[in-house]
Chains A and B, each alone.
Chain A
Amino acid sequence: AQTVTQSQPEMSVQEAETVTLSCTYDTSESDYYLFWYKQPPSRQMILVIRQEAYKQQNATENRFSVNFQKAAKSFSLKISDSQLGDAAMYFCAYKDNTDKLIFGTGTRLQVFP
Chain B
Amino acid sequence: DTGVSQNPRHKITKRGQNVTFRCDPISEHNRLYWYRQTLGQGPEFLTYFQNEAQLEKSRLLSDRFSAERPKGSFSTLEIQRTEQGDSAMYLCASSLGLRVSLGELFFGEGSRLTVL
Contact = CB atoms under 8 A, between A and B. Distances in A.
Nearest to A96: B101
B45 A101 contact: yes
Contacts of A100: 33, 45, 48, 56
Nearest to B40: A105
| Residue among B43, B45, B93, B100 facing the most chain A CB atoms (10 A cut-off) | B43
Interface stretch (A11-19, A40-48, A79-87): A40-48
B78 interface: no
- Report, as a range, how many residues of chain A touch the other chain: 20 to 34
Contact of A44 (B4, B33, B55, B104): B4
Contacts, number: 60
B100 A47 contact: no
Interface string B9-46: 00000000000000000000001010100001111110
B107 interface: yes
Interface in A77-113: 91, 93, 95, 98-106
Interface in A31-63: 33, 35, 37, 42-47, 50
A33 B107 contact: no
Interface string A4-35: 10100100000000000000000000000101
Interface string B98-110: 0011111111110
A29 to B, nearest CB: 13
Given A44-B109, A45-B107, A100-B56, A50 B102 contact: yes
B102 to A, nearest CB: 6
Contact of B42 (A42, A46, A47, A104): A104
B77 to A, nearest CB: 16
11 contacts: A6-B42, A9-B40, A33-B103, A43-B109, A47-B103, A91-B42, A99-B31, A102-B45, A103-B43, A106-B40, A106-B41
